[in-house]
Amino acid sequence: MTNNVFAPTPPMGWNSYDYYDTTVNEEQVRANARVMAERLKEWGWEYIVIDIQWYAKNAGSMRGRFQYIPFGPVEMDAWSRLQPDPERFPSSQGGKGFWPLADYIHSLGLKFGIHIMRGIPRIAAHVHGKILGHNETADMVADPASVCWWNPDMYGVRDCPGGQAYYDSIIKMYADWGVDFIKCDDICNTDHWTPNSEKAFARSFEIEMISRAIEKSGRQIVLSLSPGPAVIGKAWHYQTYSNMWRITDDFWDDWELLKAMFPRCEQWQDHVFPGSYPDCDMLPLGYIGAGFGDERLTRFTRDEQKTMFTLWCLMGSPLMMGGELTKLDDWTMFILTNWDVLDMLPCRPKQLYRNDSSAAWTALDPDSGEKYVVLFNLADEPQHLSASVRDIWPRTIAGIDLWEGRRTEFTDGAVTADVAPHGCAAFRIASTAKPWEDQQ
């Protein structure tokens, strides 16, 4: 996969999951797309991604008992390929699939994405469904021993010609629909209990099959792998066959989850390259949780929101807004449209230090030469934080605060700041004329 062609910069967009869970419909997708086009597109936000179970009928109707209705009815064509539920996505009726919706989103100057589960529908295997372009049926290519532990919809696909033909057929269909982004689930890590084991990576051949199918389709489709945590020993594989891969399980608006992202980012900092990105997961900002029966404004404090957004941009993580865009408030808009912070996305990150109460990172933009230093307060009380940068920049330096816009000159070879609990201080660095020796 020529990753730098598919995604030369980290993808930025909106995903339906954090607000809608399994219940999003066409009208809601269109409404969110219009907000993105009108208010966010100029800052680089461009992907509209429909998350899990767009093919499921009655999705969300048993939310009190099941997130995913066990073996519930799904919409499927004659070739064992899942189709949009026509009740929720009426423009798909008549075999049109997502083409009309994708066409609308493209007309707004945006890109269109969908979530898929690894594998072939279980119901297709049970009824011996046909596979386009191959004489084997779904029961022959399905692996009944390979199932997702948290979702009942699919069997894994065997590594065989019929299995490749099935993946080729669905990816070609998505390409014909106009899909620009595929989030494939239950594939980055398939073993929740031992996430860094070989077992967690046992279905890597399915990643390769999907990647081959994308290349065969002739369409540039970004491939995103979920869920995490990704297996660090297999970084080379993710980089070769995908564009982004989750380094965490589902991320929500909880400080402990955000704090836990710092060691994950430390682990993955050397694997950020154009076209392939460790993915810190969606941004639970603004209003979230409605489809889960818990609509709320994010529980993150404003300082925690700054910390999250800064860390994601510093790491070059893809940015997928999880909140409902039609309820976008001024503060969330301020977070999402901070050019100074967004400018860190193409940078190469490097952690300077981390302990239980604080962390410091630097970043370098290899193209512009811009340099950054960020101080993170991981403690529950305010702190005066400092990071030595004399070995990196042997001159007096000035910093422009990325969130406040203030200019500060730093002395004694250190970047320092008073930082709020769970907050951060982020600076773009500029050298001044005086070498250190002249000031001693």
Tokens of 298: 């994010």
**Distances in Å between the alpha carbon of 8 and those of 3, 12, 47, 220, 321?**
7, 12, 14, 12, 19
Q: What confidence score (pLDDT) does residue 440 get?
A: 35
Contact call for residues 183 and 226 (beta carbons, < 8 A): yes
- pLDDT, averaged per 10 consecutive residues of the chain (440 residues), comes to 74 98 98 98 98 97 95 97 98 98 98 98 98 97 96 97 98 98 94 64 90 97 96 94 96 98 97 95 98 97 98 98 98 98 93 97 89 97 94 80 94 92 95 42
Q: Which residues have CB under 8 Å from 438's CB, separation 6+?
A: none
| The pLDDT of residue 271 | 96
Q: Are 306 and 423 in contact (CB under 8 A)?
A: yes
Q: Contact at 8 Å (CB) between 80 and 129?
A: yes
Distance CA 160, CA 142 (A): 10
Give the Cα separation of 114 and 73 in Å (integer): 19
pLDDT of residue 198: 64
pLDDT at 1: 52
Q: Are 283 and 234 in contact (CB under 8 A)?
A: no
Q: What is the pTM of this model?
A: 0.95
Task: Write down the pLDDT at residue 433.
Answer: 42
What's the pLDDT at 369?
Answer: 85
Spatial separation of the C-alpha atoms in residues 160 and 214, rounded to whole Å: 17
The two tokens of residue 153 are 């919809």
pLDDT at 137: 98
In this prediction, residue 392 carries a pLDDT of 75
Pair type for strands 181-185 and 222-225: parallel
For residue 428, is it left (φ>0), alpha (ψ between -120 and 50) or beta?
A: beta
